[in-house]
A and B are shown apart, each in its own frame.
Chain A
C-alpha cells in the first residue's frame, strides 16, 4: 500500500492508557508545517479521575507512532498561560522561549504589560531567575527573529492551544522546555569530547527524547553561543550551512 501524506484534516480516535476515555483529535496538514521531521506530538488532557496529560505522536501519513502518559497528575497553576501567549503573540512567545534557552541571564525591556507577560512566562518555564540585570537585552517591542531552527519551539506553543486549562498548558510548555534545556546541557558536555560529529552520533548519545529537529535547534543555540558547530558536524546540511549560512 502506498503511503500518502494527509492533505485534509483527519480525525483520530485515541483511548487513554490512564483513564480509558476515548478522545477524538483532529490533525491537519498545517500541524506539520512546524514539524519538519514529519511527526507531530499532540498533548491531550483528561480530567478524571485526576487531571492528567497524555501524548500522541502522529506522523504525516496519519499513523499513530506512539501514545504515552506525559503527566499522571497535572499540577495546578494560577498563571494565565493562554492569556500570556495571546498577549505576546505566537511568534514573539516563540522567540522569547529561544532567548530563555540561549542566555543564562537576560534583561527584558519594552512595553510594561508585555514585559510582565514575559516575566510570567519565565515562571512557567521555571526560569524566573534568568531575568536580571544583564548585557543581553531583549527589547520585547522589537524582538529579533533568532537565526535558528525555531520550529520545535513554535510547535510547543501551537500544540498548547489544544489544551483547555492553563494548568495543562503550563505543564506541557514547561515540560517540553525543560526537556530541551536538559538536552542542551548534555549536548554542551559531550560536544567537546570529539573533534567532529554527525547528527546520528549525537542523537545516539543524547539520552533524552530529543528528535532530529530539536537537535538542530540545540546546535543552532550552541552556534549562537560561539561553538563552531557548523564546522564540526560532518552532515552535508551543516557543510552547506557553514559555507553559505
Chain B
C-alpha cells in the first residue's frame, strides 16, 4: 500500500520536530507540576489536569518520534511490531495525538465544572460521553495518516458501481467538527469559571490576565488540532494534491506554538509579564 514519501523542506521539518518536542516537553512538565500540586496540597481534582497534560505530552512525544522515523525511512509507512501486531507508527501516533487532545478537553471541562459547582449534572455526563466517543472516533484507521491511495469504503460491485469512496473524508471532517464542539464546550465551561473568579476578585488584574491567556491557549489548541484532523482532506483528490498537507502542518505548528505560549503565560505567569500587567 503506497504511503507518502518524505519530501519536506528540511529546515521546515526540523522546525516542526523541534516545536513538537518543545510542546511535548512543556505538557509533560505541566503534568508533573499538576501531580505535584495535587499531591502536596491535597487538591484531588488537579489530577484531572495531570492526566490530561500527561496524555498530551506522551502522545506528542511519540508522534514527534514518529516524524523522525518518517524522515529516516523516507515514507510514512513506518512499521513497528508490538506483541506480534504490526502497526504503522507515525499514522497511529497522529491518531493517538488527536485522541489525547479529546481526553485533554474532556478532562479540562470536568475540572472547570467541578471547580464551579463541586458536582456534575446530567448535561456534564453528556459532554463526557461526547468526549469519550470522539476520542474513540479519532482512533479509527481513517484518522491515521498519509496513505497516498485512498481505499474505497466498499469495493465497486455491479449493483453499486460507484461506492462512497469519501468515507475517509467524512470521518476526518466529523473528527474535526467534534474537536470544535468539544473545544468550545470546554472554553465555555472555563469561561464560566473565569467569570465566577472575576466576580470574587474583580481587582486582581494578574489573575484576570492569566485566565484570559489560558482561555486563549485552549482556543488556539482547537485551531491547531482541527488543522491536524483535516490535514489531508485534499488527499482525496489523489495525486493532484500538495505533498501531504504541508500547509496543514504549517498551520497546526503555528497555532501550536501560539497555544504553548499562551498556556505558558496563563499557567506559569512569568515575572516579566506579571510586572508589565501590574504596571499597566
A contact residues vs B (CB 8 Å cutoff)? 36, 145, 147-151, 213, 216, 220, 231, 234, 236-237, 239-245
B269 near A239 with CB under 8 A, answer yes
A245 CA to B114 CA in the complex, in Å?
A: 11
Residues of chain A within 8 A of B42, CB atoms compared? 145, 147-151
The reply to whether A236 and B33 form a contact with Cβ atoms under 8 Å apart is yes
A59 to B79, CA, bound (A): 45
Number of A-B pairs whose CB atoms are under 8 Å? 58
Which residue on A lies nearest to B32, using beta carbons?
A: A236
- Contact (Cβ within 8 A) B40 A216: yes
- Contact residues in B for A231 (Cβ distance below 8 Å): 204, 206-207
Interface pair A237/B40, CB less than 8 Å apart: yes
CA distance A226 to B210 in the complex (A): 21
Once the chains bind, are A149 and B206 in contact (CB under 8 Å)?
A: no
Interface flag for B235 (CB, 8 Å): no
What residues of A have a CB within 8 angstroms of the CB of B207 in the complex? 231, 242-243
Residues of A within 8 A of B268 (CB): 236, 239-240
Tell me whether A243 and B267 are in contact (CB under 8 A).
Answer: yes
Per DSSP, chain A at the interface is helix
Of the candidates A36, A236, A243, the one whose C-beta lies within 8 Å of that of B210 is: A243
Name the distance in Å between B78's Cβ and chain A's nearest Cβ.
34
CB distance from A218 to the nearest CB of B (A): 13
- CB atoms of A244 and B36 under 8 A apart: no
Complex: A190 Cα to B210 Cα, angstroms: 28
Interchain residue pairs with CB less than 8 A apart (20): A36-B40, A145-B42, A147-B43, A149-B41, A149-B42, A150-B42, A151-B42, A213-B40, A216-B41, A231-B206, A237-B36, A237-B37, A237-B41, A239-B267, A239-B268, A240-B37, A242-B207, A243-B266, A244-B46, A244-B115
- By Cβ-Cβ distance, the 8 closest A-B pairs, closest first, are A240-B37, A237-B37, A245-B43, A239-B269, A241-B37, A149-B41, A240-B33, A236-B33
Contact call A241/B267, Cβ cutoff below 8 A: no
CA distance A181 to B153 in the complex (A): 71
Any A CB within 8 A of the CB of B196: no
Choice from A148, A234, A239 contacting B41 with Cβ under 8 Å: A148
> Do A245 and B46 have beta carbons less than 8 Å apart?
yes
For the complex, is B39 an interface residue (Cβ under 8 Å from A)? yes
Q: How far is the CB of A103 from chain B (nearest CB, A)?
A: 20
Alpha-carbon distance A213/B37, docked complex (angstroms): 12
B32-88: which have CB < 8 Å to A? 33-34, 36-37, 39-43, 46, 49
Among residues of A, the one whose C-beta sits closest to the C-beta of B211 is A243
Asked if B214 is at the interface of the complex by the 8 Å CB criterion, the answer is yes
Residue from A145, A234, A243, A245 within 8 A of B214 (CB atoms): A243
Which residues of A sit under 8 angstroms from B214, Cβ to Cβ? 243
Contacts of B266 in A (CB 8 A): 243
Cβ contacts B187-219/A at 8 Å (1 or 0 each): 000000000000000001011001100100000
- Measured CB to CB, the closest approach of chain A to B217, in angstroms, equals 12
